[in-house]
């Protein structure tokens, strides 16, 4: 008797197609999830670096104010020392700058600058808070190449928010509803 095995080959081909289709769908799903994650990561980096650029811009304005204060302190000829003149002029320059930059605070003794830059377009915006310590400059260090400030803190943060994953249903009825059948 001759056995006919043509049906077994068809079953094998069908099973192979099902397995290959399942692997294809899994690969497609995985690559789609990876694409979404990479887009989200790219957007996050773009937003962060725009925010960091704004923080750097404010930092450059602070540095410019301190350079002006150093130059003005050198040109003042009175009974005060350079250090006293510099601290007073730097404080005044930074106070004037803080009028033009929102979320900027100036503290004296020791001279400290605190400012926060915030994303404008988001419901839960990211923020960067920068705390700068301004070192005292005396006659010995006034011509040195020391930085005009010391970055004490550079912190990215975001306001707390509640994640609400609840599903809104209609108000439950606690009585037996009346159905009208016509």
Tens digit of pLDDT for each residue in 120-164? Answer: 877 788 899 999 999 887 766 666 666 789 999 999 988 777 766
Integer Cα distance of 19 and 64 in angstroms = 67
* pLDDT reading at 114 higher than 70: yes
Task: Identify the band that residue 176 occupies on the pLDDT scale cut at 50, 70 and 90.
Answer: low
Q: What are phi and psi of 154, to 5 degrees?
A: -140, 100
> Can you give the pLDDT at residue 81?
79
* pLDDT reading at 1 higher than 60: no
DSSP one-letter code for 141: T
Integer Cα distance of 10 and 140 in angstroms = 93
Task: Identify the band that residue 78 occupies on the pLDDT scale cut at 50, 70 and 90.
Answer: confident
> Can you give the pLDDT at residue 169?
63
* pLDDT reading at 20 higher than 60: yes
Collapsing DSSP to helix, strand or coil, 16 comes out as helix
Q: Is the pLDDT higher at 105 or at 147? A: 105
* pLDDT reading at 179 higher than 70: no
- pLDDT tens string 24-74: 999 999 999 999 999 999 998 998 999 999 999 999 999 999 999 988 988
Q: Which two tokens stand for residue 98?
A: 């803080």
Answer positive or negative: Cα dihedral of 36, 37, 39, 43. positive
């Amino acid at each position: 008797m001759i056995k006919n095995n043509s049906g077994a080959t068809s079953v094998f081909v069908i099973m192979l197609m099902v397995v290959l289709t399942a692997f294809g769908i899994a690969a497609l799903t995985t690559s789609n999830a990876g694409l979404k994650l990479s887009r989200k990561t790219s957007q996050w980096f773009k937003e962060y670096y725009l925010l960091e650029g704004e923080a750097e811009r404010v930092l450059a304005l602070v540095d410019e104010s301190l350079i002006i204060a150093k130059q003005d302190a050198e040109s003042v000829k009175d009974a005060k020392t350079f250090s006293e003149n510099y601290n007073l002029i730097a404080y005044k320059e930074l106070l004037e700058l803080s009028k033009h930059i929102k979320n900027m605070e100036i503290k004296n003794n020791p001279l400290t600058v605190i400012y926060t830059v915030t994303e404008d377009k988001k419901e839960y915006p990211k923020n960067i808070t920068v705390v700068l310590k301004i070192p005292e400059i005396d006659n010995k260090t006034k011509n040195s190449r020391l930085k005009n400030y010391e970055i004490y803190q550079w912190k990215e943060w975001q306001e707390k928010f509640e994640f609400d994953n609840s599903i809104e249903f209609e108000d439950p009825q606690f009585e037996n509803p009346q159905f009208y059948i016509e």
